[in-house]
Structure 1
């Protein structure tokens, strides 16, 4: 892993010096992590919600586990009773939940909900965004300042929204631990120059620095609907924040994998 970090280091602007995870951003965002990943655990989540994971262990059916998780989220974070959580007529943002954030992401990956999600990734994993309505390559830039403003507006006066995302990620990892170790995913693009390419190995392979949160598909044909060039990436399960089939019928039609960013060795081809 060390040689991969040195051969294509994560740019300074693409990471924070600290995070709330068991590994630093330098490792999480490295090529070495793509090929030799380690479990990622957010600080304190499993300890705080130990009773949830004990209940999940007793359920053999994925649909039952999904219901258990969503019921737990509703009760623990008072999602069905926002007045008990402190909501008033003047704090309507109390209605914001992890499900609304996911819907917002699927609708617009540059919207307010997406800014909250990217901000959460930056806070928890130390991976900074490289795009939100504009390219971001400097934390002193106007683009980053605008991103932070939108993110702050999205998180203001909400009910432990980032803590909801902490538990969401931990639940997704719990489910993925029962399956494949990595996933071959695809993304369709039209303009290669819109992406940060740190190293070009040959005509078909390069090292990409992806945004800190991205959408991918398991199907080339689906990805092709978004661009003629297809990027193929091997993604370790540890860098998947959300994927289809984990919440019953909710989001089943989206077919999107939400993937944490960083450096990825990527194969490029055309349909």
Structure 2
């Protein structure tokens, strides 16, 4: 039985609803829906929760503690304390760091999110895009330059940056699993399950995007596997003359400004999984 047998609504495709392009996803991932579904435009119309394999079971004690806390600030403190203890983040020597030899301490989830906020094409950005590829099966389309050919130098450079970012860390991708799961937990407490978020992105060049259909005002775009948006249109104006508006189901949100104090700085930023989106395009 295929995934489409279980979710015929999500798998329905016609000339107006093209499937996710084959080169934009992997055949396997580590969540409860295949990438060809969660990256498709029909998923935006009929979303369902996404669960990363094993996270809820392995970290059941964390979520029990979160259930007992009423204030978001208290839950954020519980989460960060749990991450510090569970992943031994205050013992960098456990991950191979040696102060006498110098060198760089391994990254952790906060430093990766901060690095992304500064530059999505950085080493931290490569780690996050690689994590999305591993967990959700959506392949990166851009990292400093287009990633279309896995055998090309640009793709090899992305892989090198990803590997360098993961070296000497305390199970960094497992840390990011918990960030996503905690984000979904908080969104479920604060936001109606069937209500998407309206988010915005300011850009200067539409030619940088892969357009699959639609028209000039409402194009259908294949976005990178991870993207930054903002919840405030006036903030999007600061980043470009063209404003892209999208309706994003909450399961596609990885993290947002305010979830973890000090992680994503300002701009009401949201990290959003990619795939095929119908976008409303407007100009200043």
TM-score above 0.5, yes or no: yes
User: In the alignment, which of 238, 241, 244 is matched to residue 225 of structure 1?
Assistant: 238
Deviations 1:169-226 (A, max 9, x none): 00000000113331000001111111001112x3311111000110001111111111
Equivalence for 2:279: 266
Equivalence for 1:151: 162
Q: What secondary structure is seen at the aligned counterpart in 2 of 1:225?
A: helix
Structure 1 position 183 matched with structure 2 position 192: no
Rate the CA distance shift 1:133–1:93 in 2: closer, same or farther, 3 A: same
Correspondence list, 1:40-189, <5 A: 40-89=50-99, 92-180=103-191, 181-189=195-203
Deviations 1:63-112 (A, max 9, x none): 10000000000000011122245433458554310000001000111000
Q: What secondary structure is seen at the aligned counterpart in 1 of 2:12?
A: helix
Equivalence for 2:270: 257
Distance in 2 between residues matched to 1:203 and 1:84, nearest whole Å: 53
| Number of residue pairs matched by the alignment | 270
Give the RMSD, CA atoms, in angstroms: 1.6
Distance in 2 between residues matched to 1:140 and 1:250, nearest whole Å: 34
Distance in 2 between residues matched to 1:161 and 1:260, nearest whole Å: 19
**How does the TM-score come out when normalised to structure 2?**
0.90
> Is the contact between residue 96 and residue 168 of structure 2 (CA under 8 Å) also seen in structure 1?
no
Equivalence for 2:12: 3
Equivalence for 2:249: 236
The Cα of 1:269 is off from its aligned counterpart by 0.6
Mind listing any 5+ residue stretches in structure 1 that lack a counterpart?
Answer: none
Mind listing any 5+ residue stretches in structure 2 that lack a counterpart?
Answer: 1-9
Q: What secondary structure is seen at the aligned counterpart in 1 of 2:182?
A: helix
Rate the CA distance shift 1:51–1:257 in 2: closer, same or farther, 3 A: same
Q: What secondary structure is seen at the aligned counterpart in 1 of 2:279?
A: strand
Deviations 1:237-266 (A, max 9, x none): 101011011123553524210111001111
Distance in 1 between residues matched to 2:167 and 2:84, nearest whole Å: 20
